[in-house]
Chain A
């Protein structure tokens, strides 16, 4: 999802007998749904996995501002521009809530951001696709934030207290994101010209599969997913979440009067779920590896923002220093 592949360091799950007394006590606490807090003892692997997952999640929120930032100056009306800016500011906030949760684990924000800039840290593959027309702002809000909500609602119950609380704050803000997106598409489909309606379908055609990829690869028997589930960092499998998303999204798609670029998508009376086609996993791994349409552009833009803002941060420190000396002298 926003964290699509998280290394846990586990080769296989330890049995209760193999655990140290501290590890066993920790696991029992997790099993009893007691939240783990920053000052509690925790296995080193748990701490590292969380730092990886929360930083990936935070980076995704921050890089996620870029595809939408592309349309701030091109929004069709002042109302849409204000809404878009409010949404983008929320995403900056989400990044900050998450970095702050991550810092409770002893990680340093600057160091983690540096890893992102060096290409050592991941962020969601979805933000490496371009936003080519105004309908993309609708499709991003509806599909991308919609997929994020499915994942984040479940993460509210994650075992680490600060992460869980950040998720609760974020979820409160997300439904505005999804609704404003869907409304953009509805307006275009109801009142738009034929050309504008075609833009909506085009946006859905391009973003549908990348949105499904947000949930990450199929769940396998990999020790990483098993360990994350055992620690209750992860609460539902990638495939379960993807299915939930599809089941809730298809009726909305039909209401718009649009279609998905998937000939295999159809309701299955027996299972009570939608069947759907296979994701192009080669594309997923390519984008994750840095070879998507916008990977290089995204990281260059982030770096530039940090580098060109350096003088502002230095000035702020100099100003704070001067004020301190003044108040001491007085």
Chain B
């Protein structure tokens, strides 16, 4: 089975939600990966849509690179609504 490619499986659990990573399957091609993913990850109507993506085509950040990669967002507090204090009279915004 090593000659079979590894695919990552993403499932949309309900209409309106994002696809979420659930695991992986081995398959000879994408069509088979889809069938295997259906059978493996959605036996109890856990999903309404499935994506299968060859694992070796995914570029991932190393989770240890936290500081380097995600640091810029830490010091940009003005990107959050809570940064802007409005007078009480304005009401809910």
Task: Give chain A's interface residues, CB within 8 Å of chain B.
Answer: 37, 39-41, 89-90, 93, 96-97, 100-101, 103, 108-110, 165-166, 169, 173, 313, 316-317, 319-320, 323-324
A43 → B minimal CB distance (Å):
14
* Nearest A residue to B3, CB-CB: A317
Q: Does B25 reach chain A (CB closer than 8 Å)?
A: yes
B43 & A110 in contact (Cβ 8 Å cutoff): no
Q: Does B28 reach chain A (CB closer than 8 Å)?
A: yes
- A103 and B24 in contact (CB under 8 A), knowing A39-B62, A108-B2? yes
Q: Which has the most chain B C-beta neighbours within 10 Å: A39, A166, A173?
A: A39
Q: Does B63 reach chain A (CB closer than 8 Å)?
A: yes
Since A317-B4, A320-B29 are in contact, a sample of 7 more A-B pairs with Cβ atoms closer than 8 Å, ordered by chain A residue number, is A39-B63, A93-B40, A100-B23, A103-B6, A109-B2, A165-B23, A313-B1
Per CB-CB distance, the 7 closest pairs between chain A and chain B, nearest first, are: A320-B29, A320-B28, A316-B28, A100-B24, A39-B62, A37-B63, A110-B2
Q: Which residues of A contact B64 (CB under 8 A)?
A: 39-41
Q: Does B48 reach chain A (CB closer than 8 Å)?
A: no
A166 & B23 in contact (Cβ 8 Å cutoff): yes
* Nearest A residue to B26, CB-CB: A109
Task: Give chain B's interface residues, CB within 8 Å of chain A.
Answer: 1-4, 6, 22-26, 28-29, 32, 40, 43-44, 60, 62-64
Q: How far is the CA of A166 from the CA of B3 in the complex (A)?
A: 24
> How many residue pairs between the two chains, A and B, have CB atoms under 8 Å in the bound complex?
50
- A323 and B29 in contact (CB under 8 A), knowing A39-B64, A97-B23, A313-B1? yes
Q: Which residues of B contact A320 (CB under 8 A)?
A: 28-29, 32
Q: Which residues of B contact A90 (CB under 8 A)?
A: 43
* Nearest B residue to A316, CB-CB: B28
Q: How far is the CA of A96 from the CA of B1 in the complex (A)?
A: 13
B28 & A89 in contact (Cβ 8 Å cutoff): no
Q: Which residues of A contact B22 (CB under 8 A)?
A: 169
Q: How far is the CA of A313 from the CA of B28 in the complex (A)?
A: 8
Q: Which residues of A contact B44 (CB under 8 A)?
A: 173
Q: Which residues of A contact B1 (CB under 8 A)?
A: 109-110, 313
B21 → A minimal CB distance (Å):
9
* Nearest B residue to A36, CB-CB: B63
Q: How far is the CA of A320 from the CA of B54 in the complex (A)?
A: 14
Q: Which residues of B contact A323 (CB under 8 A)?
A: 29
Q: Which residues of B contact A97 (CB under 8 A)?
A: 23, 40
Q: How far is the CA of A204 from the CA of B3 in the complex (A)?
A: 44
B69 → A minimal CB distance (Å):
12
* Nearest B residue to A315, CB-CB: B28
Q: What are 5 A-to-B residue pairs whose CB atoms are below 8 Å?
A: A39-B60, A39-B63, A96-B40, A100-B25, A103-B6
A189 → B minimal CB distance (Å):
29
Q: Which residues of A contact B62 (CB under 8 A)?
A: 39-40
B40 & A324 in contact (Cβ 8 Å cutoff): no
Q: Which residues of A contact B25 (CB under 8 A)?
A: 96, 100
